[in-house]
Amino acid sequence: MSDAARPRPQPLTPSPFLSVHNLEKSFPQADGRVFVLRQISLDVAPGDFVTIMGPSGAGKSTLLSVLGMLDGEWTGEYRLLEHDVHALKHKERIALGKRYVGFVFQQYHLIDDLTVAENLAMPLSYRDVKAEARESAVADTLDRFGMVAKKNLYPRQLSGGQQQLVGVARAVIHKPALLLADEPTGNLHSDQGREIMELFRELNTGGTTIVQVTHSEENATFGKRVVQLRDGWIVD
Amino acid sequence: MTAILTLALGIGLATAVFTVADALLLRRLPVQDQDRLVVLWGQMPERDFAYPLGFDDARDFARRSRSLERVATVASWGAAPLPIRDADQISRLRRALVSGEFFDVLGVRPVLGRALRASDDVYGAAPVMVLSYAAWQQRFGGDTSVLGRQLVMYENGVPFTIVGVMPQGLDYPRGTDFWTSVSVAIPPTGLPFVSLHVIGRLAPRATITDARAEMTTFFGRAAASPWEHDLRGVGQTLPRLVLGDVRPALFVFAAASGLLLLITCINVASLLLVRGVGRFREIAVRSALGAGRGRLIVQLLIENGILAVAGGALGIVVAAAALQSFIAFAPPGVPRLDEIHLNVTALAGAVGIAGVAMLFFGLAPAVMTSHVELQRALRSDTRQSGSRRSRLATEGLVAGQVALALVVLSAAGLIAKSLVKLERAELSLEPSSLLIGELAVRYDQHDNATKQRALLERLLPQLQMIPGVRGVSPVVAVPFAGSAAWDGRPAADGQSAEQIAANPMLNMDVVAPDYFKTLVIPVLRGRGFSDADREGTPAVVVVSQSAARHYWSGGDPIGKRVRMGAELERTLTVIGVVPDTRYRDLREARPSIYFPLRQSFFPFAPMALAIRTSGPPAAQVAAIRRVISETAPGFALTSAAPFETFLDGPLAQPRLNALLLAVFACAAVVLAAVGLFGAMATMVRQRTRELGVRMALGANAGDLRRMVMGRGLTIAAIGSALGLFGALLANRLLRGLLYDVTPTDLATLVAVTVILIVVSALASLIPARATTRIDPVVALRAE
């Protein structure tokens, strides 16, 4: 792969849901810079289910953080729907991410001191949803994910699979258009992982655009296409 | 480091207070077996007024007593200021009159020369005096050649030879500069007017109750006057008598010191608890490698013990600095400042305090952290968050600190408000540009009140003519003179014997016609005195409002009559009413009765002057002194000071109380703020992952700041609520120290609560702002 800038790829559809072009992220080092992402160009259509794969240290999670607006230290172009993310200020990016993005983490990252119901309600509280509407949304989500009986339990009282289920539910409760999942089944055994991936497929069928990072070939089969990342580059 | 500094601050201040209390209040008197020394006098049932013994009665009691194996006497008025001439300098020293065996009974040895002896207490013996240690240091610079030096009693020109110096710490009666014997200082004709307290050493197996009962029996003997039969014997041990009026303050300081130490211990406990939580993994590894629970506890205790030793050592440095600051900034009037220095007792106290602190704050965290579950601690997901239980424990400790800080702060607030009210108390006279001078008289040249009054009459017009002097009047005593002023209990016309017995003690003053104008005391009804009120004209008085209310409530006092004298044989007519003033007592405006100088029938003349000046009073002193020496030889001006300087006396203790409690309160608030800051900073550190998750879920910087601030303020609110409850209970102990302020003063409690909440908000602010620096990517990735 030459170091020359790649030409902007032709969009798969007239207006992709998400599009990055020549995205790069690096850190300064004593003898220069270390690149974590190099000239990443990628389009994601609405309703797409993209799997990003690659060895450890390839930059997969970093790319996910950039797409999810958690990381603002990068160069290049990033367009989400009609928004030029690369031109936005920090607060504007945060607001955009809040509006469109949901995150599922490998380590669940549930809040230990909150019940299942309270964990689900948290994203809504940060989006100024009124208490009554919050309660209604939490009740609907608990029902949808079959967790009504567990609503008053704490994370430590749940199995790994159940915790990840709560993590997924929390990520989608505010109906994001884009769901980002970083190794969502990495801490689960295979049956539980399969259950989660089925859920993702179901969400995708319902219209949610999903980008997942995984090492698992099996998980990749639930998506529609795979993007390979190696040493910060997208490889064919 | 934070723990060491916190411990040092708490131990240092607590040690400093212990040292001050020890020096001022607790240090043993340099006498033999002080708790066996008792002081006795008489008291009428249901009357808070002391009845001393006469000269002959005191000697009679001494002969009869079985409960006291050795008996001496001391003048009941304590150490009275007396004009002394040393070479050509006239000044005042406070003299205590005692019997010859006084020092023998106390069992005290002089540091220089000798004590008084029985042979010194005989009329005609060579006049000798024994100096107090403080007077020896302050007036004579500790000069060992002071023995044999003579000081002349200005009143009669009699020289007294200094024969000894008493040891440091012998301050009975309080404020004594020198002791001399009763029989030499008072001529035989004056002895019937001397009133004495008995001081004795209890006989073996006798108790103070026995001594009091014996005194009661003595008052009831057949030879006693009928009115004495109603008296009962009362008394105190010498240490209790000396410390009596400072016990409330001592208790408050001890409590504040204890609270401060408790806050310190809690603060350090929470710091170490947090540290312990952060070492869960290390402890788990040690456990996995074979360390038993007891071994782990010992290890932690040793580590905490080292902290305690370091904190205690640094605390001694803090204590020394605090003591130096106290001495430098102590309000005027604080006694025994020269006796304040770190000593073995204080050092032992500091070591003891550090030891207790080590046990207290070392044990709890050690026990909690040694309970770590091995498997759970070795798993990565529990490394940073810490258990909910330990977090709540830490926050509970911080809330406790806030509660205690509020208790101390509220006490300081009440005392400060009380001080302000006292300093602003309405005197009912104009204190500015008012000079108060004390006169000494040569009693050998002017041996009766008539001659003294005549001299005053000659002097007053001359003083009035000094440029810059706007008014002059004699007064009986300087401001706030306590027992050195005059009291009397006149009867109103038509009162029954029971009513007469129930009359209050009135402050009495003998004044010139210019008095009320000079002190700017308004005449509310009738008139003040004039030149027409002289010997040979109808005897008149002016009374104060509360006196008028007592004698003639609802009626016009003008024209009413009062009676005075041993047989109430003198009749005086009320011509005017003035407000009660605080000239005599800053805390309470006293009911008073005033007599015109030219009609005075008292055996003594007023020996102080009140002079209203048009400019700074001190500027007139030289001219006043010159006029006195020219016009009234036989009088000397021994001291002259603006009225305001006399306020330092009654304000000394309240100012000291306010200063010490303010220091405590500041330290307590700082420690509580440090504790809260530490807890919030730890919360942010331990919950970084959670905070990163919240950011990933949509929380912005403001949401996180509010979360941290909210938690901090919740802890502060809970602590404040507990503290308010504690303050309402504890501040009742302050009642004796407060002036015109109730222990539950709402404004003060609200103010200190607000202050504490604001400080808590500031303490939480820095950790709250630190959340804005959290990178969610780093936080989510970190283990």
**Residue B383: which pLDDT band, with cuts at 50, 70 and 90?**
very low
Strand partners, A84: A79
- The CA-CA-CA angle for residues B256, B260, B264, to 5°, reads 170
Residue of A109, A112, A123 lying closest to B780 (CB–CB) = A109
For the residues B140-162, what does the mean pLDDT come to? 92
Dihedral of CA atoms B173, B179, B183, B187 in degrees, nearest 10, equals -90
**Residue B502: which pLDDT band, with cuts at 50, 70 and 90?**
confident
Query: For A112-134, what is each residue's pLDDT tens digit?
Result: 889 999 999 999 988 889 999 99
- Report the pLDDT value the prediction gives residue A186, as an integer from 0 to 100: 85
Mean pLDDT of chain B: 86
**Residue A1: which pLDDT band, with cuts at 50, 70 and 90?**
very low
Q: Which domains does chain A have, with CATH numbers?
A: 46-70+93-235 (3.40.50.300)
Residue of B690, B698, B781 lying closest to A123 (CB–CB) = B698
- Angle separating helix axes B2-21 and B247-278, nearest 10 degrees: 170
A48 contact partners, CB below 8 Å, separation of at least 6 = A17, A209, A210, A211, A224, A225
Instruction: Give the mutation candidate from B693, B694, B697 for the A interface (greatest A CB count, under 10 A).
Output: B697
Judge: A126–B698 Cβ closer than 8 Å, yes or no: yes
Take residue B37 and report the two structure tokens written for it: 């020394």
Judge: A123–B381 Cβ closer than 8 Å, yes or no: no
**Choice between B337 and A5, residue whose per-residue pLDDT is larger:** B337
**B622 has pLDDT over 60:** yes
- Report the pLDDT value the prediction gives residue A223, as an integer from 0 to 100: 93
**B548 has pLDDT over 90:** yes
What sign does the dihedral B384-B388-B391-B393 (CA atoms) show? Answer: negative
Chain A CA closest to residue B392: A113
The answer to whether the CB of B695 falls within 8 A of the CB of A70 is yes
- Among B121-130, B246-255, B766-775, the least confident range: B246-255
Chain B CA closest to residue A171: B697
Terminal-residue alpha carbon distance, chain A: 10
Burial of B205 per CB tally in 10 Å (0-12, 13-18, 19+): exposed
- Report the pLDDT value the prediction gives residue B376, as an integer from 0 to 100: 54
One-letter-per-residue 3-state SS of B282-314: HHHHHHHCCCCHHHHHHHHHHHHHHHHHHHHHH
**B782 has pLDDT over 60:** no
Judge: B700–A122 Cβ closer than 8 Å, yes or no: no
For the residues B390-411, what does the mean pLDDT come to? 89
- Report the pLDDT value the prediction gives residue B539, as an integer from 0 to 100: 95
Q: Per residue in A91-103, is it b (16+ CB within 10 Å) or e — as a string?
A: eebbebbbbbbbb
Chain B CA closest to residue A105: B780
ipTM given for this complex: 0.81
Measured CA to CA, the distance from residue B489 to residue B566 in angstroms comes to: 11
**B160 has pLDDT over 90:** yes
Closest CA to B679 of B395, B436, B374: B395
List, in sequence order, every beta strand (DSSP E) within B132-187: 150-153, 158-165, 178-181
Chain A residue numbers touching B689 (CB-CB < 8 A): 109
Terminal-residue alpha carbon distance, chain B: 26
Judge: A112–B698 Cβ closer than 8 Å, yes or no: no
Take residue B6 and report the two structure tokens written for it: 């916190």
Q: What percent of chain B has pLDDT over 90?
A: 49
Q: How far is CA B375 from the centre of its chain?
A: 61
Query: For B738-747, what is each residue's pLDDT tens digit?
Result: 999 999 999 9
Long-range pairs for B505-508 at CB < 8 Å and ≥24 separation?
A: B505/B49, B506/B543, B506/B544, B506/B547, B506/B590, B506/B591, B506/B592, B506/B593, B507/B583, B507/B584, B507/B590, B507/B591, B507/B592, B507/B593, B508/B476, B508/B592, B508/B593, B508/B594, B508/B595
The answer to whether the CB of B29 falls within 8 A of the CB of B339 is no
Measured CA to CA, the distance from residue A195 to residue B543 in angstroms comes to: 101
Measured CA to CA, the distance from residue B69 to residue B202 in angstroms comes to: 6
Judge: A112–B696 Cβ closer than 8 Å, yes or no: no
- Among A35-39, B428-432, B523-527, B679-683, the least confident range: B679-683
- Report the pLDDT value the prediction gives residue A32, as an integer from 0 to 100: 86
**A36 has pLDDT over 80:** yes
For the residues B83-112, what does the mean pLDDT come to? 92
**Residue A3: which pLDDT band, with cuts at 50, 70 and 90?**
very low
Instruction: Give the mutation candidate from A126, A157, A187 for the B interface (greatest B CB count, under 10 A).
Output: A126
Reduced DSSP (H G I as helix, E B as strand, rest coil) percent helix, strand, coil of chain B, to 5: 55, 20, 30
- Among A135-149, B435-449, B464-478, the least confident range: B435-449
Measured CA to CA, the distance from residue B234 to residue B50 in angstroms comes to: 9
- Report the pLDDT value the prediction gives residue B566, as an integer from 0 to 100: 77
One-letter-per-residue 3-state SS of B447-469: CCHHHHHHHHHHHHHHHHCCCCE
Judge: B697–A123 Cβ closer than 8 Å, yes or no: yes
Measured CA to CA, the distance from residue A131 to residue B706 in angstroms comes to: 18
Chain B CA closest to residue A90: B700
- A97 CA: distance to closest CA in chain B (Å): 8
**Residue B310: which pLDDT band, with cuts at 50, 70 and 90?**
confident
For the residues B272-277, what does the mean pLDDT come to? 70
Measured CA to CA, the distance from residue B164 to residue B143 in angstroms comes to: 12
Query: For B559-590, what is each residue's pLDDT tens digit?
Result: 999 998 878 889 999 999 999 999 999 999 98
- Residue B203 burial (CB count, 10 A): 16
Measured CA to CA, the distance from residue B30 to residue B132 in angstroms comes to: 12
- Among B60-64, B563-567, B591-595, B703-707, the least confident range: B563-567
B177 contact partners, CB below 8 Å, separation of at least 6 = B79, B93, B94, B95, B131, B132, B134, B135, B139
**Residue B281: which pLDDT band, with cuts at 50, 70 and 90?**
low
| B690 phi, psi to nearest 5 deg | -60, -40
- Residue B564 burial (CB count, 10 A): 21
Judge: A123–B690 Cβ closer than 8 Å, yes or no: no
Judge: B697–A170 Cβ closer than 8 Å, yes or no: yes
Query: For B348-382, what is each residue's pLDDT tens digit?
Result: 776 677 667 666 666 665 566 555 555 555 554 44
The answer to whether the CB of B754 falls within 8 A of the CB of B738 is no
The answer to whether the CB of B437 falls within 8 A of the CB of B639 is yes
- B651 CA: distance to closest CA in chain A (Å): 55
**Residue B292: which pLDDT band, with cuts at 50, 70 and 90?**
low
**B110 has pLDDT over 90:** yes
Take residue A217 and report the two structure tokens written for it: 């070939």
The continuous run of DSSP H or E covering B280 comes out as: helix B280-288
Measured CA to CA, the distance from residue B430 to residue B417 in angstroms comes to: 23
| B577 phi, psi to nearest 5 deg | -130, 130
- Among B82-91, B101-110, B185-194, B611-620, the least confident range: B185-194
- Report the pLDDT value the prediction gives residue B631, as an integer from 0 to 100: 92
For the residues B606-619, what does the mean pLDDT come to? 94
For the residues B258-263, what does the mean pLDDT come to? 79
- Report the pLDDT value the prediction gives residue B381, as an integer from 0 to 100: 46
Instruction: Report chain B residues touching chain A, CB-CB < 8 A.
Output: 381, 385, 388, 689-690, 692-700, 703, 776-777, 780-781
The answer to whether the CB of B528 falls within 8 A of the CB of B451 is no
Q: Per residue in B4-31, is it b (16+ CB within 10 Å) or e — as a string?
A: bbbbbbbbbbbbbbbbbbbbbbeeebbb
**B285 has pLDDT over 70:** no
A133 contact partners, CB below 8 Å, separation of at least 6 = A124
Q: What percent of chain B has pLDDT over 70?
A: 89
Instruction: Report chain A residues touching chain B, CB-CB < 8 A.
Output: 61-62, 65, 68, 70-71, 91, 94, 97-98, 103, 105, 107, 109, 111-113, 122-123, 126-127, 170, 174
**Residue B161: which pLDDT band, with cuts at 50, 70 and 90?**
very high
Measured CA to CA, the distance from residue B221 to residue B714 in angstroms comes to: 71
Query: For B216-236, what is each residue's pLDDT tens digit?
Result: 999 988 888 777 777 889 999
Domain ranges, ordered by start, for chain B: 45-230, 434-646
Chain B residue numbers touching A123 (CB-CB < 8 A): 697-698
Radius of gyration, CA atoms only, chain A = 18
Measured CA to CA, the distance from residue B33 to residue B239 in angstroms comes to: 10
Chain B residue numbers touching A109 (CB-CB < 8 A): 689-690, 692-693, 696, 780
Residue of B690, B698, B776 lying closest to A98 (CB–CB) = B698
For the residues B197-206, what does the mean pLDDT come to? 95
- Report the pLDDT value the prediction gives residue A41, as an integer from 0 to 100: 94
Chain B residue numbers touching A65 (CB-CB < 8 A): 777
- The CA-CA-CA angle for residues B246, B251, B253, to 5°, reads 95
- Residue B662 burial (CB count, 10 A): 17
Chain B residue numbers touching A91 (CB-CB < 8 A): 700
B176 SS3 class: coil
Judge: A122–B385 Cβ closer than 8 Å, yes or no: no
Chain B residue numbers touching A98 (CB-CB < 8 A): 698
**Residue B483: which pLDDT band, with cuts at 50, 70 and 90?**
low
- Report the pLDDT value the prediction gives residue A29, as an integer from 0 to 100: 84
Take residue B701 and report the two structure tokens written for it: 């910087």
Take residue B502 and report the two structure tokens written for it: 């129930």
Chain B residue numbers touching A127 (CB-CB < 8 A): 698
**B756 has pLDDT over 90:** yes
**B684 has pLDDT over 90:** no
Chain A CA closest to residue B380: A107
Where helices occur in B132-243 by DSSP H, the ranges are 133-140, 182-185, 208-219, 238-243
